[in-house]
Amino acid sequence: MPAALVALLLLDLASVQPNRIVPGQGMSLWAIMGPASLLLVLLPLGVGGLAWRASSERLLWALGLTLLAMLGMPWALAGFCHVFIDPDAPYARAGLAAGFWVVLFVFMLALIELKGRLRLPPGSWWVLGGLMLGSWALALASGVLDKLSLMQEYLGRSDKFIDALAYHSLLVASAVGVSLMLGFCLALAMRRWSRLERGINGVLSLIQTIPSLALFGLLLAPLAWLADRFDWLAAIGVQGIGAAPALIALVGYSLLPMTRNTFVALADVDPGVIESARGMGMSPRQVFLQVRLPLALPVLIEGVRITSVQAIGLAAVAALIGAGGLGTFVFQGLGQAAMDLVLLGALPIIVMAVVVDGLLTALAGALRQGARDD
Amino acid sequence: MSAETLPGVSEFPWRRWAAPFAWFSALAGLLIVMPHLGPLFAAIDPEAREPIYRRDAFVDLLTNHLLLVAVASTIAIVCGVSAAIMVTRPWGRDFLPLVSQLASIGQTFPPVAVLALAVPWLGFGGLPTVVALVLYGLLPIVRNTLVGIGEVDPATREAARGMGMSPSQVLFQLELPLAAPIILAGIRTSVTVGIATAAIGSTIGAKTLGDPIIAGIINGNTAYILQGAILIGVLALSIDSVFARLLPSRH
């Protein structure tokens, strides 16, 4: 919390930029609000003070204040845009400065800490998270934040953004889908022929060790050569650059966590349970489908989670070899030194990774709970 | 770990270190041979005007790549292990849930995004790359150190205290040695990701082995891409083979 105070008081919270390239004029909280800024300082001060001698009641109040800050943030920004950005200057925009990010980060930390300390029903955190995302989504959709530099970048390429988002998700989903099927087969093969275990593990960890940029590069040349030689391959879209090497590399990276988790999940099922299922007269097929697989599901989902999060990040690198997706904005932005464009690519990637991680963790947890209740 | 598997004091176990030795020889060999393979790469990519990447010597790129990773990993190891030690002491325990949650949430952030977000803050070049490598490299180390120390049997710790060991003796003679394999596994993950991320660092102006790949992609020169990719791949496998020897086998 002291960090939030320092950030609020000293760092520039936001900036006013006449256009995209000229760096903005930074403004601290005091410059924005004058003496009224003292009211806002009370927020982190209050949260910090309440957490000092923690009782669950005080922590609830702290949670309320943090929530207020998080919900209010987009609307405060909207107010800033309204007051300080000249509506008649078409290229004027409001940038977010270091102070804003520090404050956002500290309140996030406070939320994580409160989540650890307060024993609230798990569903309530989903509601709170939804409320916060909803507040931002509403502010963004209603147009009051349109003068924000990030939104200016988005408005300039909203079609491309939607395409990139859809494409990124599609790439990740197909990589995870393919590796789930392949990984499942490999794990079954490893169970049947135990001599394969070492070899498969060795090859898969070798692939995992090769840096993504290098693997994309290594796939590029042979694929270009193949597409050149065989017309039918080129006809189905195999090329040196683009989606083909990206998908192959993503599947390659995904196979290790997927195969290992599936294998461990299937092997770790309590032998006593299997024995009693057999004793009840179930056929091997029934034992596998009705007992072993459902019991292994939580660990299997864990593999899907690791793979998905990893693939979301790697798909961003794939933009370098022309695979499209959100990484395109990141590298375009880096090339043009347009940092808001970088953010437009990087922020959705991070949000996507965190959300997918949360959802799949919750799913695995629910399945575990279900297995225990049966 | 049994006595035979420990490296002998009098005799260096050549057989055990054969794999890393072979990988590093391959790396050195490639560095020496690569600049003379012009005709080969010209045959692979006949359209390339210049078959060998010559803007920087491969040796310089490799040295700089390794330097970035080494600096970042050293900082990450020192900070990560000490942070994990601090929050497992009695006086720092209040921060344990926060730090461990932060380490696991942070790991869901894609390394590319961390790299890209360091630029608006620090500009282009080697510095933002090192900072991104440190920030990202910290997480597996913190997490594994926490797990390693957490897995030390409380009864063992109690026994050590009962024998009259001071808290720092318990830490250095009991907890850290017992946690070492898990910490080392964390460092391995951290370094592997570091080598990969440093390669992408050349998109933000760090001089690394990613340079030939990026230059090749921009100019449509497959030969450059292959040269960079082969060297990065062999480098990563060389370093990883050392870790594979240091860690007790999983099988």
Q: Judge residue A35's burial from the number of C-beta atoms within 10 Å of its C-beta, 0-12 exposed, 13-18 middle, 19 or more buried.
A: exposed
Q: Are A192 and A140 within one domain?
A: no
Mark which of A149, A180, A203 sits at the end of a domain.
A149
Residue type, A14: A
Q: Are residues A172 and A278 in the same domain?
A: yes
B112 and A349 within 8 Å at the Cβ level: the answer is yes
The answer to whether B19 contacts chain A (CB < 8 Å) is: no
Same domain flag for A170 and A319? yes
A210 with A138, same domain: the answer is no
The structure tokens 């993950």 sit at: B189
B27 has a chain A CB within 8 A of its CB: no
The reported pLDDT for the residue numbered A85 is: 64
How many angstroms separate the CA atoms of B123 and B128, rounded?
A: 7
| DSSP-based three-state secondary structure for B191 | helix
- In the predicted model, is pLDDT for residue B209 greater than 80? yes
CATH 1.20.1440.230 fits B61-246, yes or no: no
Given a contact cutoff of 8 angstroms between Cβ atoms, the answer to whether A269 and A295 are in contact is yes
The reply to whether A295 and A353 lie within a common domain is: yes
Rounded Cα distance, A146 and A136, in Å: 13
Tell me the pLDDT band of B36, cut-offs 50, 70 and 90: confident
Beta-sheet strands, E only, within chain A:
12-17, 25-28, 93-96
- Residue in chain A nearest B197 by alpha carbon: A211
| Measured CA angle at B120 (ends A167, A88), to 5 deg | 85
Contact A217 B226 (CB under 8 A): yes
Alpha helices (runs of H) in chain B, residue ranges in sequence order: 18-33, 38-44, 58-88, 96-106, 111-122, 126-150, 154-162, 167-169, 176-200, 210-219, 222-246
What are the phi and psi torsion angles at A126 (to 5°)?
Answer: -65, -40
B189 touches chain A (CB under 8 A): no
The answer to whether the Cβ–Cβ distance between B214 and A212 falls below 8 Å is no
- pLDDT given for residue B226 in this prediction: 85
Task: Please tell me which of the candidates B113, B214, B251 has its beta carbon nearest to residue A346.
Answer: B113
The CA distance from A248 to B244, in Å, is: 26
Is the predicted pLDDT of residue B2 greater than 50, yes or no?
Answer: no
What's the Rg (C-alpha) of chain A?
Answer: 25
- Provide the pLDDT confidence category of residue B3 given band limits of 50, 70 and 90: very low
Contact assignment for A342 to B196 by CB distance below 8 Å: no
Q: Burial level of A101, CB count in 10 A (0-12/13-18/19+)?
A: middle
How far is CA B223 from its chain centroid?
A: 27
pLDDT confidence of residue B1: 43
Contact B120 A112 (CB under 8 A): no
Give me the long-range contacts of A40-44 (CB less than 8 A, separation at least 24). Answer: A40/A8, A41/A5, A41/A8, A41/A9, A43/A68, A43/A69, A44/A1, A44/A4, A44/A5, A44/A8, A44/A69, A44/A103, A44/A106, A44/A107
A209 to chain B: which residues are within 8 Å by CB?
Answer: 192, 236-237, 240
3-state secondary structure A181-246: HHHHHHHHHHHHCCHHHHHHHHHHHHHHHCCHHHHHHHHHHHHHHHHHHCHHHHHCCCCCCCHHHH
Q: Which residue of B has its CA nearest to A214?
A: B229
Q: Are B236 and B196 in contact (CB under 8 A)?
A: yes
Predicted pLDDT at B219: 80
Which of chain B's residues have a Cβ under 8 Å away from the Cβ of A241?
217
B218 touches chain A (CB under 8 A): no
pLDDT given for residue B75 in this prediction: 92
User: From the CA of B226, how many Å to the nearest CA of chain A?
Assistant: 6
Pick from B116, B124, B213: which is nearest to A213 by CB? B213
Mutant choice from B112, B191, B217, B224 vs A, greatest count of A C-beta within 10 A:
B112
Report how far Cα A230 is from the mean position of its chain's Cα atoms: 38
From the list A113, A117, A313, the residue facing B112 with the nearest CB is A313
Name the strand (E) or helix (H) holding A152.
Answer: helix A149-156
Q: Which of A116, A317, A350 sits opposite B101 (nearest CB)?
A: A116
Domain residue spans of chain B:
61-246
Residues A133 and A177 in one domain: no
**How many alpha carbons fall within 13 Å on the CB side of residue A111?**
19
* Smallest Cα distance from B98 to chain A, Å: 6
Residues A137 and A52 in one domain: yes
Residue A48 CB burial class (10 angstroms; 0-12, 13-18, ≥19): middle
List the single residue in B97, B121, B204 with the smallest CB-CB distance to A334.
B204
User: Chain A contact for B123, CB < 8 A?
Assistant: no
- Domain with A52 in it: 2-149
Residue type, B99: V
The amino acid present at A298, given as its one-letter code, is: P
| pLDDT of the residue at A45 | 66
CA distance B147 to chain A (A): 18
Q: Inter-chain contact A354–B217, Cβ cutoff 8 Å?
A: no
For the residues of A107-137, what is the DSSP string, one character each? Answer: HHHHHHHHHHHS---HHHHHHHHHHHHHHHH
Residues 6 or more apart from A22 whose CB is under 8 A from it?
Answer: none
Using an 8 Å CB-CB cutoff, list chain B residues near A313.
Answer: 109-113
Separation CA A235–CA A256 (nearest Å): 31
Question: If you compute the radius of gyration of chain B from its CA atoms, what whole number of angstroms results?
Answer: 22
Mind telling me how many Å the CA of B154 is from chain A's nearest CA? Answer: 23
**A218 Cα to chain B: minimum distance (Å):** 6
Residue A124's CB is within 10 A of a number of other CB atoms, namely: 11
CA–CA dist B216, A83 (Å, integer): 48
CA neighbor of B222 nearest in space, from B23, B12, B43, B44:
B44
Does residue B220 belong to the interface with chain A, where contact is any CB pair within 8 Å? Answer: no
Nearest to A210 among B200, B210, B233 (CB): B233
- B110, B117, B251 ranked by CB distance to A312: nearest: B110
Tell me, yes or no, whether A128 and A182 share the same domain: no
Reported as type and span, the H/E element at residue A291 is none
For an interface test with B, which of A125, A200, A203, A209 has the most B Cβ atoms less than 10 Å from its Cβ? Answer: A209
User: Which of A149, A167, A192 delimits the end of a domain?
Assistant: A149
Which of chain B's residues have a Cβ under 8 Å away from the Cβ of A346? Answer: 112-113, 116-117
User: Under DSSP, is residue A147 helix (H, G, I), strand (E, B) or coil?
Assistant: coil
- Please, what is the Cα angle at B242 between B241 and B245, to 5 degrees? 90
Q: Are residues A365 and A285 in the same domain?
A: yes
Coil vs helix vs strand at A343: helix
DSSP assignment letter at B249: P
Q: Is the pLDDT of residue B251 over 50?
A: no
Question: Of B191, B238, B231, whose CA–CA distance to B212 is shortest?
Answer: B231
Is the domain of A244 the same as that of A346?
A: yes
Domain match, A222 and A319 both: yes
- A272-298 as b/e: b if 16+ CB within 10 A: eebeebeeeebeeeebbeebbeebbbb
Is A178 in the same domain as A323?
A: yes
Give the mean pLDDT per block of 10 residues along chain A (374 residues): 52 54 56 57 65 69 77 73 64 66 76 74 76 80 70 75 86 91 89 81 82 83 72 63 80 86 84 84 84 84 88 87 82 79 85 87 82 64
Mean pLDDT for B205-230 is 85
**Chain B CA closest to residue A210:** B233
Prediction ipTM score: 0.77
B233 touches chain A (CB under 8 A): yes
Q: Count up the domains in chain A and report the number.
A: 2
Q: Is A18 helix (H, G, I), strand (E, B) or coil?
A: coil
B69-91 pLDDT, tens digit per residue, is 999 999 999 999 998 988 888 87
